[in-house]
Amino acid sequence: SYGAGHVDPIAALNPGLVYELDKADYIAFLCGMNFNVTTLKIIAGEDVTCTENILQRNLNYSSMSAKLSRSDSSFTVTFNRTVTNVGAPNSTYKCKVLAGRGSTLSVKVSPSVLSMKSVNEKQSFTVTVSGSNVDPELPSSASRIWFDGTHNVRSPIVVYTGEASY
């Protein structure tokens, strides 16, 4: 199974860190998917000019996934994310990575520690996932967790070839 874990409604009231998105982020995402201006206008409800394109994998969601070509015997994929501190000021979050069952993914997070001095402070980080010989029938997975002793902010990471019918 994949996802960010079991939902804890009490913990959801005090998540510690959040991944924020606004309309401009979604427009840049759609521009990166090469939507034409007519379709963008229908979706956005107004005229849109593509001034920025972002890769699908870099939309600022907590989850991270990448589709590989079947011919990729070895790969490296980078994800860029930004989190906002909605917890206490002067919080330090350390990163922990958990491999999925049978996964051979290598996951590096930089920086691996986020020191949040104030509420609403934003910090960015990069997740680099590498590996080789991904099973075309099964996705490979891992989880990245930011923890500060109180909060566990978990994000699933999935890499797949797109050849399988899951």
User: Cβ(74)–Cβ(130) under 8 Å?
Assistant: yes
The label of the residue with tokens 């990448």 reads 66
pLDDT at residue number 141: 92
To the nearest 10°, report the CA torsion of 86, 2, 128, 56: -80
Name the CA dihedral angle for 152, 123, 28, 108, rounded to a multiple of 10 degrees.
Answer: -60
Which pLDDT score, from 0 to 100, does residue 6 have? Answer: 67
Chain segment 44-89, per-residue pLDDT in tens: 999 998 988 888 899 999 999 999 887 667 899 999 999 999 999 9
Domain boundaries, the chain: 58-160
Q: What is the mean pLDDT of each run of 10 residues along the chain (166 residues)?
A: 63 89 92 92 92 90 90 88 97 95 90 98 98 82 95 94 61
User: Rounded distance, CA 30 to CA 52, Å?
Assistant: 10
**Tokens (6 digits) for 61:** 């969601």
Q: What pLDDT is recorded for position 166? A: 47
Domain spanning 58-160 has what CATH number? Answer: 2.60.40.2310
d(CA 151, CA 120) in angstroms, rounded, equals: 16
Q: What is the pLDDT of residue 75?
A: 92
